[in-house]
Chains A and B, each alone.
Chain A
């Protein structure tokens, strides 16, 4: 009964989406305030309907309802409750419902928080969001209905891929979807602006918080995914340039460019057409990511099933939305006149450079990700493009980007002088040089890592200089500077923190460039020297988990005969589904991660069973994810800025409208 309610609610949501995509757009075109007024209640109702549907599916998972095909295929009664619930979106159908629920939530937020928006703009934005929602609801109902029943019900389900039975599944997809779908909102704003043929500072003021929020969530989603892969897959790496990872990186890159150019629209009313284009691009790349991951074109832990019908459906949706939006862009964009004029050396100029480099990196990653697919499709030749390609093609573009990141925020708007800014940054440059030389002397000839450390210090010191400069350190008394620092706009703090966070991430990445690894076969009681520690294998024993059995090794890590850590890497065997997974043991400290993986056990010449161990020493690894956290924190802080909270020009315009009608 409950699954039927869920199914019904989903159909209801699709009907509401039809109304939401039709009525407000028509109303806005005719200037009919009653028709425009239905947009907000429809968006709210659509969200409620999808939430009911999602809750119904979750309930089916919670009680392990084996009459539902989706539950049978992806769950099992022996799973812990948390993984039963998170398993709701650990499959194709459920993850699509989560996707549309997040989208409907964003629509509802636009409806709820957007009361200050000009009503025609709000109606158009909600109409476009309804259109997107409708496409994906149709996709779910026609090709991937999660509420299909099976009769007679099998005794139990087939279980969830053990790799997904992890807390990472609870956090990573929802955050990532909030990011992807957040760009649906900026997309809708861009399309609405194209329909109206007008982009102004107020528009920029509305787009900026959405792009900030989406960027913040996407940053978190990607970094948590990377951290999850790091500890769960047991390869000892954090980023593999896997097509699925690239699929999430592409909208992030375009979104980062959008985030910056939206500032220019808001402050200076320049780069308007370009910002609209970036907003279209960011969502197009989000959709592309959804297509790559959901269609099963690519193999990874993310592709749950490959069904050509689904791939073609999403490809059609992608084609309709993207082609439609770009056609509208080509038709309307020329009518939008640029207003702000600026010299090449200015904050705007810096942001143009930032956009240019980010878009170039996006293009490189895009080509590297899709080229093998096209080549396979056109010639049938199988190739792959791996990490060496992406590293050597993106690093030369990333280097000037990072160098500009410290300078850009300190340039004045409209027209700036470069030399005084560089003078203020001399100590940051000294720190960067020092880091470069120190790395080369201490760690040997690792030029890329040394460059990475230099970039990291350049960014962190640059962000500190920016804040110090704005608060007048050195030009006024310290107490006065402190007061000024506290009263700086939160957006300034947010930007500095996010830039420093990028520096922290680069610090971790550079540290990981110095990572070392040792593969060794050790008999019980034997030991090996690695990374300045003695690693002693105490033994390997059997271990029982709730729905798995495991072989668990106990390794004592000693330094100078003193026990420092006890690590227990294991191999888990899940009888349901017959899968084995590797559980790496990780000891994190600020300076390094010690990482141990248990391989197979095999007899040596003497007939003693040895265990193969893979040991990693990952310097500064945790800072990769801490840095990403700092970046999204910076974005969050920027979101609480007074300007964004108050949204003054929109309100003022509404008042004048009210006066005009009164």
Chain B
């Protein structure tokens, strides 16, 4: 085979390889990209049914209930808040070790027809002090926390929080949705 012909073959092969890789990537992206939504995003527009997404925020203080069953498995109910809005969540599984009330959480699953988020997994954190960046961003966007002013305030104080001040005592109960 001449050099020219061989070079043509190699170019052709590379083209096929790159082309198939691109095609595979694009089709897989179409079905499998998982978007992040905060409770406020969900309040603004209802997420499409039957498509998984990630929900993140703080676990509302006092909202975790370990009882009942979901799809025949022992279930845990809790609410995820970003201060402005709240989404109830049900999860049938073993929670990661660093799951705490009042701390950041990211869950992945789908929205149920009754407005309860069915979490298929609650993502684990590996470090006590870690705040998932998505959660920090959601809290900032809802105007309830400026990370420059220190650690996140207690969730019970959130709906009365003035973004300009670092922390304020709780006065009224949290807005509840879906309960």
Contact = CB atoms under 8 A, between A and B. Distances in A.
Contacts of A388: 28, 31-32
Nearest 6 Cβ contacts at the A-B interface: A382-B36, A599-B94, A389-B32, A393-B28, A360-B21, A301-B126
Interface stretch (B82-90, B131-139, B150-158, B161-169): B131-139
A580 B98 contact: yes
Interface in A329-365: 338, 341-344, 352-353, 356-357, 359-361, 363-364
A152 B95 CA distance: 40
Contacts of B112: none
Interface stretch (B6-14, B43-51, B170-178): B6-14
Contact of A363 (B13, B21, B92, B98): B21
A396 B25 CA distance: 11
Nearest to B92: A519
Interface in B1-54: 1, 3, 6, 9-10, 13-14, 16-18, 20-21, 24-25, 27-29, 31-36, 54
A295 B34 CA distance: 24
Interface of A: 161, 163, 233-235, 299-301, 338, 341-344, 352-353, 356-357, 359-361, 363-364, 367-368, 371, 381-386, 388-390, 392-394, 396-397, 519-521, 571, 577-582, 597, 599-600, 602, 610, 612, 614
Given A388-B31, A580-B98, A614-B94, A364 B21 contact: yes
Interface in B78-125: 92-95, 97-98, 108, 124-125
B97 A341 contact: no
B134 A396 contact: no
A39 B140 CA distance: 54
Contacts of B17: 356-357, 359-360
A161 B126 contact: yes
Nearest to B37: A382
B179 interface: no
A520 B74 contact: yes
A127 B32 CA distance: 46
A581 B20 contact: no
Contacts of A367: 25
A301 B98 CA distance: 13
Contacts of A342: 1
B34 A385 contact: yes
Contact of A614 (B6, B93, B127): B93
Nearest to A368: B25
A389 B10 contact: no
Nearest to A386: B34
Contact of B34 (A161, A299, A383): A383
Given A389-B28, A579-B97, A599-B95, A382 B35 contact: yes
Nearest to B133: A299
B128 A579 contact: yes
A227 to B, nearest CB: 17
Contact of B128 (A352, A390, A578): A578
B31 A392 contact: yes
Contacts of B124: 233, 235
Q: Which of B21, B54, B108 has the most CB of A within 10 A?
A: B21
Contacts of A614: 93-94
Given A363-B18, A386-B34, A389-B33, 8 more contacts: A233-B124, A299-B133, A361-B21, A383-B36, A396-B20, A519-B94, A521-B74, A614-B94
A344 B5 CA distance: 11
Contacts of B35: 381-383
A112 to B, nearest CB: 38
B137 to A, nearest CB: 7
Nearest to A297: B133
B93 A341 contact: no
Interface string B52-87: 001000000000001100000110000000000000
Contact of A582 (B14, B73, B97, B125): B97
